[in-house]
């Protein structure tokens, strides 16, 4: 029966073309999860961010090979000048950056990027009629964004001519951004697509709907977009002068100083199932994938090396570290019984995280002690947690202390993939050991996020990936002001935690800030607004002809540096 199933899966392999030798085109074939939309201010999820980064560029970019803390100027012509009080950044912009052709630009169908386009972008990010999920995290940093948002709410339509105090265009090529307090990582924040320039012409022409109108400046132009099945991008023939960066990493020296991008076309295949992705890799239909859990034991040796069989096929193994993610169970703080701490403790004791690691990560993940991965500033030394090992006796004692325990089914929502469903079924069994009833619901990504934002769940299972592993990036998941409408989907409100978050923002001394992060991590363990499970180490396999490949899904726009030889 298993062989029959594999046969039918093989029949579903997408009919994507191999790399073209007749036209001498270099074609990269990727896989992706489904995407809700590709508006740079409304996107949620890693899959959308990775596609946006092909098209939309920002002032700064993470060094593709020496990151995540090392940065390069991107649309900025050089590193910015920082004021003496460390609050105002002055950027000189490149003079050779043009938007993708669009009819609303009129004659010539494009135009050069100017400083006012960044001002427009920050205003759109603050538009109360757009409701960007990224607004709260930016408004707490940039001067005047909250005030601009509030002033626009009273109007019948958003007025983009109104001044935004903290973001100013001094002339076409000079931009200033003023933040409320010094922030060592502010330039890193400017690598995300939410700060890409947006021309006012696009807002006017589309009635501010950029979900299907792409006004990027990046190395790749979309030529076909179906968020649920396939996307195609072609090299931007008018892309500016940009060279492969100098790097300290000896693996990436061959193309240093050469014009990018190298690849002519990128085809993105939307495949939810890891098994389908793997079969397409083996058929040379895609160029790299993450190793599925069901293929791990036959593909990766006990020494964490690629099997000789796969090496002989021409495949190579790449691994990523576990300091940039957390897999977790979100627990609804807005209704009973999940808003009861004794109930949350009962759930935490009932779930066998060791078994979870074995089943779904082949024992390669690190156990999560709080939200911060080991080694991330603020988790050294790592805090301890009592919840790694299943303890059904303690779980039942905690459950007995819950008052007025309802008899209804508990809703656990997960993504509509086989792997996520299996995880959901594992949690269902663990929780039902307590005598509770659980209903696992599999949902498409947009619907899952919608349900989570509305609080229509008891538990959800998600992973959180960050480009820059700092305490702020992880604590955004439970920071009070990020609810509702942003990353705090569990509705956690804790005055002490939020006060510490603000203290950490005000603290410029690294050691003192790390002590605050450590205290915040302990609150997460004590209060359990989420149940941190593991920090995963990812294993990717790619074909040998793919050069400059980095085994990570966190550096947006990195495809411009890939080469095929």
Tens digits of residue pLDDT in 218-230: 999 999 999 889 9
b/e per residue 14-37 (b: at least 16 CB within 10 A): bebeebeeeeeebbbbbbbebbbb
CATH number for the domain that contains residue 130: 3.90.76.10
Which of 211, 240, 271 is a domain's end point?
211
User: What would the two tokens of residue 214 be?
Assistant: 């792409």
Which of 173, 196, 211 is a domain's end point?
211
DSSP classification of residue 388: S
Cα angle: 522, vertex 455, 122; to 5 degrees: 80
pLDDT, mean of residues 404-409: 87
CATH number for the domain that contains residue 31: 3.40.190.10
Please tell me whether residues 240 and 207 are part of one structural domain: no
pLDDT, mean of residues 295-313: 89
| pTM, to two decimals | 0.81
Please tell me whether residues 379 and 515 are part of one structural domain: yes
Q: 559 with 288: CB under 8 angstroms? A: no
Res. 527: pLDDT tops 60:
yes
Which of 211, 242, 268 is a domain's end point?
211
DSSP classification of residue 90: E
Furthest C-alpha separation in the chain: 74
At 10 the pLDDT is: 40
Q: 215 with 199: CB under 8 angstroms? A: yes
Please tell me whether residues 336 and 451 are part of one structural domain: yes
Please tell me whether residues 468 and 394 are part of one structural domain: yes
Helix (H, G, I), strand (E, B) or coil at 471: helix
Q: 53 with 45: CB under 8 angstroms? A: no
| Beta strand ranges found along 354-458 (DSSP E) | 366-367, 410-415, 438-443
At 2 the pLDDT is: 39
User: What would the two tokens of residue 475 be?
Assistant: 């604590």
Question: Distance between CA 560 and CA 34 in Å, rounded?
Answer: 22
- Does residue 148 lie in a domain region? yes
- Does residue 357 lie in a domain region? yes
Q: What is the CA radius of gyration of the chain?
A: 24
Going 227 to 228 to 234 to 235, the CA torsion angle's sign is positive
Please tell me whether residues 459 and 352 are part of one structural domain: yes
Res. 485: pLDDT tops 80:
no
Of the pLDDT bands very low, low, confident and very high (cuts 50, 70, 90), residue 44 is confident
Report which listed range, 91-105, 321-335, 540-554, is most confident.
91-105
Please tell me whether residues 498 and 375 are part of one structural domain: yes
Q: Are strands 88-92 and 81-82 parallel, antiparallel or unpaired?
A: antiparallel
φ/ψ (deg, to 5) at 265: -150, 140
Note down the domain range covering 160.
57-211
Please tell me whether residues 52 and 65 are part of one structural domain: no
Please tell me whether residues 527 and 562 are part of one structural domain: no
76 forms bridges with which residues in the sheet? 93
| Number of Cβ atoms within 10 Å of the Cβ of 307 | 17
| Number of Cβ atoms within 10 Å of the Cβ of 500 | 21
pLDDT, mean of residues 307-328: 91
- Does residue 6 lie in a domain region? no
CATH number for the domain that contains residue 424: 3.10.105.10
Question: Distance between CA 78 and CA 72 in Å, rounded?
Answer: 8
Please tell me whether residues 50 and 122 are part of one structural domain: no
Cite the DSSP H helix spans in 222-370: 274-282, 293-299, 308-313, 341-350, 353-361
Percent of the chain at pLDDT > 90 equals 75
**Does 373 or 5 have the greater pLDDT score?**
373
Peptide bond into 212 cis (omega under 30): no
- Does residue 159 lie in a domain region? yes
Please tell me whether residues 38 and 169 are part of one structural domain: no
- Does residue 2 lie in a domain region? no
Res. 486: pLDDT tops 90:
no
Q: How many folded domains does the chain comprise?
A: 3
Q: Report how far apart, in Å, the C-alpha atoms of 93 and of each of 76, 110, 146, 196 are.
A: 4, 18, 26, 13
Res. 56: pLDDT tops 90:
yes
Res. 45: pLDDT tops 80:
yes
Percent of the chain at pLDDT > 70 equals 96
DSSP classification of residue 104: G
Mean confidence (pLDDT) of the chain:
91
Please tell me whether residues 187 and 89 are part of one structural domain: yes
Q: 496 with 519: CB under 8 angstroms? A: no
Q: Are strands 265-270 and 563-564 parallel, antiparallel or unpaired?
A: unpaired
Please tell me whether residues 34 and 183 are part of one structural domain: no
Peptide bond into 261 cis (omega under 30): yes
- Does residue 5 lie in a domain region? no
- Does residue 313 lie in a domain region? yes
Q: Are strands 438-443 and 459-465 parallel, antiparallel or unpaired?
A: unpaired
- Does residue 26 lie in a domain region? yes
Of the pLDDT bands very low, low, confident and very high (cuts 50, 70, 90), residue 460 is very high
pLDDT one-digit tens code per residue, 334-365: 999 999 999 999 999 999 999 999 999 989 89
At 23 the pLDDT is: 66
Helix (H, G, I), strand (E, B) or coil at 355: helix
Question: 13-17, 181-185, 399-403: which has the minimum mean pLDDT?
Answer: 13-17
| Number of Cβ atoms within 10 Å of the Cβ of 556 | 24
């Amino acid at each position: 029966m298993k062989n029959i199933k594999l046969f039918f899966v093989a029949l579903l392999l997408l009919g994507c073309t191999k790399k073209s030798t007749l036209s001498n085109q270099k074609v990269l074939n990727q896989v992706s999860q489904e995407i809700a939309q590709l508006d740079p201010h409304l996107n949620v999820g890693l899959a959308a961010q990775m596609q946006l980064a092909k098209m939309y560029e920002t002032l700064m970019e993470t060094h593709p090979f020496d990151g995540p803390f090392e940065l390069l100027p991107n649309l900025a012509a050089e590193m910015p000048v920082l004021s003496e009080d460390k609050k105002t950044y002055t950027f000189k912009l490149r003079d050779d950056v043009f938007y993708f052709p669009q009819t609303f630009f009129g004659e010539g169908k494009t135009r050069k990027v100017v400083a006012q386009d960044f001002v427009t972008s920050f205003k759109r990010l603050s538009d109360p009629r757009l409701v960007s999920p990224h607004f709260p995290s930016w408004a707490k940093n940039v001067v005047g964004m909250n005030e601009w948002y509030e002033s626009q709410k009273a109007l019948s339509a958003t007025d983009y001519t109104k001044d935004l105090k903290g973001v100013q265009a001094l002339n076409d090529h000079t931009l200033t951004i003023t933040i409320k307090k010094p922030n060592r990582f502010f330039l890193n924040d400017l690598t995300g697509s939410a700060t890409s320039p947006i021309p006012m012409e696009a807002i006017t022409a589309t009635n501010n709907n950029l979900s299907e109108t792409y006004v990027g400046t990046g190395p790749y132009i979309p030529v076909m977009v179906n968020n649920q099945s396939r996307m195609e991008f072609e090299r931007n023939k008018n892309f500016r002068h940009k060279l492969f960066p100098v790097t300290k990493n000896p693996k990436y020296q061959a193309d240093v100083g050469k014009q990018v991008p190298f690849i002519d076309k990128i085809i993105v295949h939307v495949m939810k199932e890891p098994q389908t992705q793997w079969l397409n890799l083996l058929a040379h239909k895609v160029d790299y994938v993450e190793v599925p859990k069901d293929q791990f034991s036959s593909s990766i040796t006990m020494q964490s090396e690629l099997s000789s069989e796969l090496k002989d096929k021409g495949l190579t193994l790449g691994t990523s570290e576990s300091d940039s993610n957390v897999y977790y169970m979100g627990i609804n703080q807005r209704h009973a019984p999940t808003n009861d701490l004794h109930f949350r403790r009962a759930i935490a004791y009932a779930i066998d995280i060791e078994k979870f690691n074995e089943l779904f990560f082949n024992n390669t993940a690190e156990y999560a002690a709080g939200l911060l991965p080991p080694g991330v500033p603020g988790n050294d030394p790592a805090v301890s947690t009592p919840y790694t090992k299943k303890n059904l006796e303690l779980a039942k004692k905690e459950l007995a202390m819950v008052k007025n325990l309802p008899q209804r089914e508990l809703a656990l929502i997960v993504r509509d993939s086989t792997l996520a469903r299996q995880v959901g079924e594992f949690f269902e069994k663990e929780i039902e050991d307590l005598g509770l009833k659980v209903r696992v619901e599999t949902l498409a990504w947009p619907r899952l996020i919608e349900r989570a934002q509305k609080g229509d769940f008891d538990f959800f299972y998600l992973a959180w990936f960050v480009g820059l592993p700092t305490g702020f990036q992880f604590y955004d998941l439970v920071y009070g002001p990020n609810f509702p409408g942003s990353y705090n989907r569990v509705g956690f409100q804790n005055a002490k935690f939020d006060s510490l978050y603000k203290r950490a923002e005000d603290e410029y001394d690294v050691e003192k800030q790390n002590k605050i992060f450590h205290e915040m991590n302990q609150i997460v363990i004590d209060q359990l607004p989420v149940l941190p499970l593991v920090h995963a180490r990812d294993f990717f396999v790619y074909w040998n002809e793919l050069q400059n490949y980095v085994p990570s899904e966190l550096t947006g726009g990195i495809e411009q540096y890939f080469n095929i030889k």
